[in-house]
Structure 1
Amino acid sequence: MRLKEDFFDSDEIKIIESQPNGYMYSNILLKLYLKSLKRNGKLMVTDFIPYTLESLSKVLYRYRT
């Protein structure tokens, strides 16, 4: 995956990051992009099992105490 050097300067990312917790959302977006690389842009656990919202939340977030 190659990000353009102005990725964080795009209007979309600026809008995301201007929201409350916006930097966390842009980080989640990058994590989703990276997760999709193994399966040609699809969010899949394996070739046959897609991620669910629950499974994505478990692999993307660290539990905080």
Structure 2
Amino acid sequence: MYEKKVRSKGKNMSKFPPAFDINIHIDDSAGVEMEGRKFGFKTIIISVSDTDWVNTILKKIDEF
């Protein structure tokens, strides 16, 4: 479903949350962060070692 919807719009990327009305994508991949910058969607990148990830996300949401 994802590939069909995103690729039908001529996009070639691993993630494109706007296609599914998602405002912010949370991930642990720096590559997704680069795609967000390139294709204009908001990302919050969390380190896998972040033991306080919930608060990290909440703080970054406030920055938007």
Instruction: Normalising by structure 2, report the TM-score.
Output: 0.33
Q: Which structure has the higher relative contact order (CA within 8 Å, separation 6+)?
A: 2
Structure with the larger strand share: 2
Q: Whose Rg is larger?
A: 1
Higher helix share: 1
